[in-house]
Amino acid sequence: MTRFTSSLDKDRLIFRSVVLTALAHFYHLWERGLIPKDSKDVIRWLIRALDEEEEILSGSYEDVHEALEEWLLRNAGKNAGWLAYGKSRNDQVATALRLTLRWKIIHLLWEVNRLRSSLLEAAEDNLEVNMPLFTHLQPAQPSTAAHYLLYIEEECFRHWRAIWYMLREVVDLSPLGSGPIAGSSLPLDRGRLADLLGFAGVEVNTLLATGSRSFLVLSLGPIASLMVSMGRVAEDLIVWSSPQFSLVEIPSDHVSTSSIMPQKRNPVTLEIIRAKSAKLIGSLTSLMAITKGLPSGYNLDLQETNEHILAVDEASESIRVMADLFKRIKFSDLRIKSTLAQDLAEKLVKERKVTYREAHSLIASALKDNGWDLEKAAESLGLELPSFSEVLKSRGRGGPNPDILRKEISSRKKLLQDDIEKLADYEGEKREAEENLLRLARESLME
Ligand code: ARG
């Protein structure tokens, strides 16, 4: 018979979570008196299993669940046969995926916070550094590097909050105790099982808990969106660092030279970030495509969704690299005169009492008559070009006015501090839960 290779190797991804899930289940059976008291030796082997990944996954089994059960049977004997009492691989894999995903998202959220911090620092250092903003990639209006940096920080903040919501309200719910699809006859306490694994709550409906992977789509959705935003930033910096633009200087440890052209400073880390954002879209698309049209309830197709939690690591790595880049990026002070045209037209309106449409066409024809030189065009109309600093100072909330942005930065630092504290508390709770489970398991051995 021709078969696919087993999922054992890919199951390394969730190995620890699978063992912890099995431990929580077995411990619960034991504490509830649902299995013989003398079966607790299996608990000892389950604790040991955490350190025996290589050995456990070395045989030829269909998946990690089978490999673990066989290893337990070999070592703990017949009592290991109680592990499958009231537990299916379907609720187990869903639980393990969520546990692993939880750590990966926590890690990602830390990286995003570090990126936010380096963006806020960079913004503070670049409040007065002039930089044009582009529409249609044509110079549009005067702005500052700080304004641009804060735009990225706000994107990060918004996505941070969306990912945080999905983590707590969607991912952090326990499927354990759901059996294969509709529970079992055992009086399992699903709330207790959730507590043992440090889940915030229970994914109540057993069909949803075992057969759905919408928690993957919902959590990867905002992560993919974050990466799409970061891919755009990567593209900006790639373009702006080319000598033709000379708007930014990428730190030298983020560029590579060419093996043949010595003048090259290729923005390689940004290029990888741009590609990773495509891979995140790929993972999200795969998840939705695999589950689209699938009958409700567990189907082995779902096994192919597991590996896509790795996409979270790809996002984390990209964000980490980006945070490092923004610590040392240099913006050149670039003032492009033509970007003052709108402000010149607005000045014309105020001084000559003409409508904006009239001012627009007066300046447009003066530009045409003066070889697109705005300074000469202004002169021909008897006007003086506004200065860049004057223009920046005229801007209101959300724009590049340095005085307003200075205040904005300090309120954004507070938001970041809030998110840092929330995440530290949350991570602490999860670590404690894992320690608690192991402590309870060890204590049961002493009874
Ligand atoms: N290896 C499977 C997965 O990762 C575990 C569940 C298999 N369930 C089953 N009924 N064959 O999704």
Each residue's pLDDT, cut to its tens digit, for the chain (447 residues) gives 577 878 888 999 999 999 999 999 999 999 999 999 999 999 999 999 999 999 999 988 999 999 999 999 999 999 999 999 999 999 999 999 999 999 999 999 999 999 999 999 999 999 999 999 999 999 999 999 999 999 999 999 999 999 999 999 999 999 999 999 999 999 999 999 999 999 999 999 999 999 999 999 999 999 999 999 999 999 999 999 999 999 999 999 999 988 988 888 999 999 999 999 999 999 999 999 999 999 999 999 999 999 999 999 999 999 999 999 999 999 999 999 999 999 999 999 999 999 999 999 999 999 999 999 999 999 999 999 999 999 999 999 999 999 999 999 999 999 999 999 999 999 999 999 999 999 999 999 998
Where in the sequence of the chain do the CATH 1.20.200.10 domains occur?
A: 90-130+145-335+407-432
Residue whose CA is at the smallest distance from ligand 1 atom 5? 89
Residue 250: Cβ within 10 Å count: 21
| pLDDT value for 447 | 82
pTM of the model: 0.97
| pLDDT value for 7 | 87
Going from the Cα of 90 to the center of ligand 1, the distance in angstroms, rounded, reads 6
Where in the sequence of the chain do the CATH 1.10.275.10 domains occur?
A: 9-86
| pLDDT value for 261 | 86
Going from the Cα of 95 to the center of ligand 1, the distance in angstroms, rounded, reads 12
CATH topology for 9-86?
Answer: Fumarase C; Chain B, domain 1 (1.10.275)
Residue whose CA is at the smallest distance from ligand 1 atom 1? 63
Substitution candidate for ligand 1 out of 11, 14, 65, 87 with most atoms within 8 A of CB:
65
DSSP-derived secondary structure letter, 168 = I
According to CATH, what is the number of the domain 90-130+145-335+407-432?
A: 1.20.200.10
Structure token pair of residue 382:
């008897």
Substitution candidate for ligand 1 out of 89, 95, 212, 306 with most atoms within 8 A of CB:
89
pLDDT in tens, 287-305: 999 999 999 999 999 999 9
Going from the Cα of 111 to the center of ligand 1, the distance in angstroms, rounded, reads 32
3-state secondary structure of 21: helix
The tally of CA atoms less than 13 A away on the side-chain side of residue 168 is 12
133/142 Cα distance (integer angstroms): 6
DSSP letters for 49-87 = HTT-HHHHTTS--SSHHHHHHHHHHHHH-GGGGGTTTT-
Specify burial of residue 397 (Cβ count, 10 A radius: 0-12, 13-18, 19+): exposed
Identity (one letter) of the amino acid at 313?
D
Substitution candidate for ligand 1 out of 66, 93, 181 with most atoms within 8 A of CB:
93
Atom number of ligand 1 nearest to Cα 62:
1
Residue whose CA is at the smallest distance from ligand 1 atom 4? 303
Q: How far is CA 221 from the centre of its chain?
A: 9
pLDDT in tens, 181-208: 999 999 999 999 999 999 999 999 999 9
171/104 Cα distance (integer angstroms): 11
Substitution candidate for ligand 1 out of 63, 66, 92, 176 with most atoms within 8 A of CB:
63
Q: What are phi and psi of 173, to 5 degrees?
A: -125, 140
Contact 75, 94 (CB under 8 A): no
The tally of CA atoms less than 13 A away on the side-chain side of residue 220 is 29
Going from the Cα of 303 to the center of ligand 1, the distance in angstroms, rounded, reads 6
Atom number of ligand 1 nearest to Cα 63:
1
Atom number of ligand 1 nearest to Cα 306:
4
Substitution candidate for ligand 1 out of 90, 97, 301 with most atoms within 8 A of CB:
90
Residues with beta carbon inside 6 Å of ligand 1? Answer: 7, 63, 65, 89-90, 93, 298, 300, 302-303, 306
Q: How long, in residues, is the chain?
A: 447
Atom number of ligand 1 nearest to Cα 90:
6
Atom number of ligand 1 nearest to Cα 11:
4
Identity (one letter) of the amino acid at 401?
N
Identity (one letter) of the amino acid at 371?
G
Going from the Cα of 45 to the center of ligand 1, the distance in angstroms, rounded, reads 23
Structure token pair of residue 377:
């065009």
Going from the Cα of 50 to the center of ligand 1, the distance in angstroms, rounded, reads 20
Identity (one letter) of the amino acid at 372?
W
Q: What are phi and psi of 143, to 5 degrees?
A: -150, -165
Contact 419, 160 (CB under 8 A): yes
Going from the Cα of 312 to the center of ligand 1, the distance in angstroms, rounded, reads 22
